[in-house]
Structure 1
Amino acid sequence: MHPRCTAPRLAARSLRGLTPRFGAHLHRNAPARPLNPSQARCMSMANTYTETLAGNPEPLAENILNLSWGLLEILHNCGLSWAVALPASAVVIRACIIMPLFQIPSRKAQQTTASLLPLTRAFHIVKKHSAHMAHYSKGPRVAQAVTIRSVAKYNHQIRKRWGSQRWKQMLPFCGLPVFISMAEVIRRMVGTRSGLWGLVFGSGSYAAPKASEQVSDAVTTDGVTDALESVAEWKGTTSLPSSVPETLSNWLEPSMAAEGMLWFPNLMLPDPCMILPFAVSGLTMASIYAGSKAPHKGHEKPSFFIFKRVLMTLALAIGPMTLNLPSGILLYWCASTSCAWLSHIYLDRFYPVRMPPTPCKRSIPYYPKKDIEKMRQQR
């Protein structure tokens, strides 16, 4: 869009009768004016998207984080304290993004797959008999391989026809990047230097561009910047201390130091009572248990049982490994895990997976050698 012409006493109507070249000349030679803040933001966003299209991945990641930060700011500007805004953001994300886009389509695909089991089982039996009759002379291994390939192809075709592909059942894992982006934004807002991995294991680097150079003079022995200690001293001020790096000062929220609740009034510091880490561990175990129930009790496969035990063990280890995490991250983690647990209960109540009756365990007797001899005699 061309800037508005600022020639003195030149109305817009007088430009209609001018030739296109002369009108463009007036617009091009109009004196430039400084951009207002909204126009400056638009220009900066345009430059950001231009850099993104040019192949620079950092602006794209920052824009994704800006969406998460915007959600938190909207909830906080509605009058909610940070101790309420963080759990509320987890509820909003679970209700508006993860449930309708990932969990419900995945559960519907599981229901369709369960309804198609009688067809796949019947095809497997028929194909097994026909393969043994056709490849009896080549041995049972050849017949079994032919049966497996035919059944796999049939399953793929029937799943695609009814819209229950395997990738749809893996959609709930797409919610993990959403959780990581929210945790990263909260980490920057509380002034923590390292990410989740660095806070847990004590070694990590800030993910912002050139952050290792900017935070080298602000590192403490606990792997957290001086902002955590400085905020406790300057709760009532609005200025940031000089020890806070520039990359952190753009994201840091000093109000988090005074908008906690209950036994953790400061969301920038770890939980003094160590209740939140073990609450996260317990809620994660409950969510895994609720989301990994077998449709038929007592008929779990050994591999599924082992995988479930491994997940439960990892969930149990979350408590001791997250003792140094700030209370703000743990509070959001608790709310997100609680929403996941409740969503599993909701899906089991309104979208249950009903398994069809299993076929008879007694196999149908067939004699491929005699059948082949009968076919030869009929010819």
Structure 2
Amino acid sequence: MTENLQAVHLYSGIPWWALIPMTTITLRSIWTLPLAIAQRKRIQKQSTLKPLVAATNPVLKMKLAREVLRQKKETTRKTQQESRSSSGQPTDEQKVFQALQALKANRVANLKYEQIVLMAAKETRKRQKKLFSDHGVQMWKNMVLPMFQIPLWVGMSFTFRDLSGWSTWDAIKNKALDPSLYTEGILWFPDLSIADPWCILPVVLGAISIFNVEWTFKTLELMKLTIRKGNRITIQDSLANVARMSVVFMMAISLHAPTALVLYWISSQVFSLVQNIILDLVMPISYTPNRRFNISVQGKEANNIIM
């Protein structure tokens, strides 16, 4: 990858400060953008199917609750009948059969509310998995994009690190693999082999990255069918906090990283942010009335009627 990038730079004559963003946009457009579009279409289909599955959850709870009540009544009735009937002794096989039936009935009759909720949730997930499989939009397919995007990001990061000669924390000892990096910067960072002397690029990287994180998790929030109640921490909140902490970690690294590498990270984050915004506007995945900036579809339609 390093030699290929040097060859492109040599034959094109494009300075590194422009070639790095252009390379990022080209690779992301060819490598990950088609996968992102395919994933967005798949998530849209999943979003239309989720309400169908979610609607069955209350029905399952009600059926389980009714079954519990029925089993309780049946157990009480059988107990009363057995206490009244004193004629004849049951055989051993009949005793075993009656014991198994009583055990099964007691298990159902003694179900608590938490157990009913858990059983209904398991059945709902099972039905969702089958429904997604029937429509060819299995959840595991959503991992295809990260499986392609992460290796690309890691590989390009190592490429620009090697080009910049960033092998130690001592900038004096580092020697750029391509000498043109010393002079093909722009504005306040003419030397791309050293860290940003004014620390502006790390701040820009952090701002774009945190905006990208917040935009992404806002999109996930809009996908929810129900309104969040209380301040209970969810898995999504934990993932969002981890993503925010990773942004802080990346900013700390970028303070010492060569400008060429930081420029690649910024270009990649800008591409991701623009891609997410365009996809959210052109191919929205939210099936709830909620939209961004807390604007609802009903409110928008009401405004149109008034106008």
Q: Same fold (TM over 0.5)?
A: yes
> Are the aligned partners of 1:285 and 1:315 in contact in 2 as well (CA < 8 Å)?
yes
1:138 maps to 2:110: yes
1:95 maps to 2:22: no
> Are the aligned partners of 1:277 and 1:319 in contact in 2 as well (CA < 8 Å)?
yes
1:365 matched residue in structure 2: none
TM-fit CA distance, 1:346: 0.8
Whole-Å separation in 2 of the counterparts to 1:184 and 1:74: 17
Structure 1 residues not aligned, in runs of 5+: 1-65, 200-221, 232-251, 359-379
Match of 2:178 among 244, 249, 253: 253
TM-fit CA distance, 1:335: 0.8
Classify 1:123/1:72 alpha carbon distance in 2 versus 1 (closer, same or farther; 3 Å).
farther
Q: Residue 92 of structure 1 aligns to a residue in which SS?
A: helix
2:88 matched residue in structure 1: none
Classify 1:91/1:97 alpha carbon distance in 2 versus 1 (closer, same or farther; 3 Å).
same
Pairs within 5 Å for 1:221-370? 222=170, 226-228=173-175, 252-293=177-218, 294-295=221-222, 299=227, 302-303=233-234, 304-356=236-288
Whole-Å separation in 1 of the counterparts to 2:217 and 2:159: 30
Classify 1:344/1:132 alpha carbon distance in 2 versus 1 (closer, same or farther; 3 Å).
same
Q: Deviations over 1:187-222 (max 9, x none)?
A: 11111215xxxx5xxxxxxxxxxxxxxxxxxxxxx2
Classify 1:274/1:144 alpha carbon distance in 2 versus 1 (closer, same or farther; 3 Å).
closer
Pairs within 5 Å for 1:62-141? 66=1, 69-71=3-5, 73-74=7-8, 76-101=10-35, 103-136=36-69, 137-140=109-112, 141=114
Classify 1:317/1:227 alpha carbon distance in 2 versus 1 (closer, same or farther; 3 Å).
closer
Structure 2 residues not aligned, in runs of 5+: 70-108, 291-307
Whole-Å separation in 2 of the counterparts to 1:351 and 1:146: 35
> Are the aligned partners of 1:105 and 1:168 in contact in 2 as well (CA < 8 Å)?
no
> Are the aligned partners of 1:131 and 1:143 in contact in 2 as well (CA < 8 Å)?
yes
Give the TM-score taking structure 1 as reference length: 0.58
Give 1:156's aligned amino acid: K
Q: Deviations over 1:152-211 (max 9, x none)?
A: 2111101111222222333442312211100101111111215xxxx5xxxxxxxxxxxx
Which structure has the higher relative contact order (CA within 8 Å, separation 6+)? 2
Whole-Å separation in 2 of the counterparts to 1:179 and 1:289: 20
Q: Residue 55 of structure 2 aligns to a residue in which SS?
A: helix
Give 2:213's aligned amino acid: I
Give the TM-score taking structure 2 as reference length: 0.70
Whole-Å separation in 2 of the counterparts to 1:142 and 1:290: 37
Pairs within 5 Å for 1:14-29? none
> Are the aligned partners of 2:39 and 2:142 in contact in 1 as well (CA < 8 Å)?
yes
Classify 1:282/1:227 alpha carbon distance in 2 versus 1 (closer, same or farther; 3 Å).
same
Classify 1:172/1:291 alpha carbon distance in 2 versus 1 (closer, same or farther; 3 Å).
farther
1:57 matched residue in structure 2: none
Q: Deviations over 1:208-241 (max 9, x none)?
A: xxxxxxxxxxxxxx2x57343xx6xxxxxxxxxx
Q: Which moved more, 1:73-82 or 1:185-194?
A: 73-82
Moved over 6 A (4+): none
> Are the aligned partners of 1:72 and 1:85 in contact in 2 as well (CA < 8 Å)?
no
1:162 maps to 2:135: yes
Q: If each structure's helix is expressed as a fraction of its own residues, which one has the higher value? A: 2
Whole-Å separation in 2 of the counterparts to 1:346 and 1:71: 29
Q: Residue 255 of structure 2 aligns to a residue in which SS?
A: coil
Classify 1:146/1:95 alpha carbon distance in 2 versus 1 (closer, same or farther; 3 Å).
same
TM-fit CA distance, 1:341: 0.8
> Are the aligned partners of 1:72 and 1:86 in contact in 2 as well (CA < 8 Å)?
no
Q: Deviations over 1:2-23 (max 9, x none)?
A: xxxxxxxxxxxxxxxxxxxxxx
Match of 1:182 among 153, 156, 172: 156
Classify 1:278/1:357 alpha carbon distance in 2 versus 1 (closer, same or farther; 3 Å).
closer
Give the alignment's Cα RMSD to 1 decimal.
Answer: 2.7
Q: Deviations over 1:316-359 (max 9, x none)?
A: 4433332111111011111111111111111111110131579x
> Are the aligned partners of 1:83 and 1:261 in contact in 2 as well (CA < 8 Å)?
yes
2:79 matched residue in structure 1: none
TM-fit CA distance, 1:122: 2.5
Aligned residues: 242
> Are the aligned partners of 1:76 and 1:85 in contact in 2 as well (CA < 8 Å)?
no
Give 2:189's aligned amino acid: F
> Are the aligned partners of 1:159 and 1:165 in contact in 2 as well (CA < 8 Å)?
yes
Match of 1:150 among 123, 126, 130: 123
TM-fit CA distance, 1:279: 1.2
Whole-Å separation in 2 of the counterparts to 1:292 and 1:171: 19
> Are the aligned partners of 1:72 and 1:89 in contact in 2 as well (CA < 8 Å)?
no
TM-fit CA distance, 1:275: 1.1
Give 2:166's aligned amino acid: T
